[in-house]
Chain A
Amino acid sequence: MLAEVPMSYFLTLSAILFALGVAGFLFRRSVITVFMSIELMLNAVNLSFVTFSYHHGGATHQGIEGHLFAFFVMVVAAAEAAVGLAIILTIFKNRQTLNIDDIESMKN
């Protein structure tokens, strides 16, 4: 018993982390914190993928696909972080603010 964890625990953990990421996205006002919440969400999703790849077993090809997907998520997250932070820098240069509510030129 002690040697086994039900898979649904991992998935629940992933859901909790994801929900926390969303909460950070919705309720925080600093742009950088919002960005970090996005990274948190991506990590939660990675955990989900790896859990499912465990579920499919290691001998088959299906098993490894979850790992690969998580790998690609990481790559994309890296690229996204780079570009996103560059954007944040530009916004800060133009508007002198890091408050996400002040960036509303798309209003109406």
Chain B
Amino acid sequence: MDVILFFVFAIIAVVCAINVVVQTHPISSAISLVGVMGSLAVLYLLLGAEFLAAAQVIVYAGAIMVLFVFVIMLLNAGTEKKEGKSLVVQLLGVPLLVAFLGIVAFFVQRVFPTTMVHFGGFTGGGVHEIGMALFGPYLLPFEVTSILILIAILGAIVLARKEMD
């Protein structure tokens, strides 16, 4: 059961990711990205990360991607034009990617051969546990991120202000 779940949603995620990269119009890429995030949320559930799955859907898919779509509409971004090239990218890009993937896949398989994942194997991912951790030992990073968000808001407003005449 878990295996089927994993493979179905893994394949959905990969296909959507390929779609993000391949599509010419940004809006199609955005929609595909939402699909990726959704599949990832299911995979998080499989791994026992309940809070995180919910946060993924609410924050990532629900807020960030919406922002992306807004901006795409605002800019009236059309299909991408085929101009400009870089020699380095063309020469080194694909080989490096292949190398990267190959190495990681190879080593990962060797280093963790025995651990198995099944639904219910991880119990500490609920809201209670996350909350205890965030407001306990990890209070400082939590507060700092709030300041970070404040700065981001201010920055975004300043940068985009005149546009809104």
Contacts and interface: CB of A to CB of B under 8 A. Distances in A.
- The answer to whether A and B touch directly, with their CB atoms under 8 angstroms apart, is yes
Interface in A1-22: 1-13, 15-17, 19-22
A24 B17 CA distance: 9
From DSSP, what is the main secondary structure of chain B's interface residues? Answer: helix
A61 to B, nearest CB: 8
A106 interface: no
From DSSP, what is the main secondary structure of chain A's interface residues? Answer: helix
Interface in B93-117: 93, 97, 100-101, 104-105, 108-109, 112-113, 115-117
5 contacts: A12-B109, A26-B93, A29-B80, A32-B77, A55-B112
Interface of B: 1-4, 6, 10, 13-14, 17-18, 20-21, 26, 29-30, 33, 36-37, 40, 43-44, 46-49, 51-52, 55-56, 59-60, 63-64, 67-68, 71-72, 74-75, 77, 80-86, 89, 93, 97, 100-101, 104-105, 108-109, 112-113, 115-119, 121-125, 129-130, 133-134, 137-138, 141, 145, 148-149, 151-153, 155-157, 159-160, 162-163
